[in-house]
Amino acid sequence: MIRHIDAEQGLIRADTVRDFVGPDVAADNYVCGPEGFMAVVRSALPGPGRVFVEDFDLAPTIKTPPTGEQAEVDGTVTIYLERKKVSVPRMAGETLLEAARRAGLTPPFSCEQGNCGTCMARLTEGHATMRNNEALTDDEVDEGYILTCQGVPDTPSVTVHYE
């Protein structure tokens, strides 16, 4: 398995896909991911092999309209990222990824839809519910991993470790 993390390597390009896939024009190719990613991969395949696509059409995320300030609730979100520890007050309805950004961190992310797994981190304290999860296995969730773009804290205090 080869992982390409947009936050570290930039968005994937057609030449990167061609280098990985090679010249096999009869190969079966399996593509899954955000729409833009799949478009780049499809355009780079040497064809005419078969392309199998797993496409997720998610309902649009409904966000509460801003009212000047988001409601602060009891509790703290603590984030460990790249040898930094930052804690911020918990905000109602805010995802762990949004809390990390508000704390001034630049955590890894890509699709922000719960499809790719780029934002995966380990929840070591508290509990959060994922709005959508199309990337983590049941075993990974049982081990404490969470998609921070989808995880909304359910307990007053949560701690997240990006690994």
157 and 84 in a common domain: yes
Task: Give me the domain span that covers residue 44.
Answer: 6-54
Q: Length of the chain in residues, anyone? A: 163
136 and 77 in a common domain: yes
- pTM of this structure: 0.62
28-52 confidence digits (pLDDT tens) = 877 777 777 777 887 888 777 777 7
User: For residue 63, is it within any domain?
Assistant: no
153 and 84 in a common domain: yes
Q: What is the DSSP letter of 141?
A: H
3-state DSSP: the chain helix, strand, coil percent, rounded to 5?
A: 20, 30, 50
Give the range among 46-60, 61-75, 87-101, 144-158 with minimum mean pLDDT.
61-75
80 and 129 in a common domain: yes
Count of domains forming the chain: 2
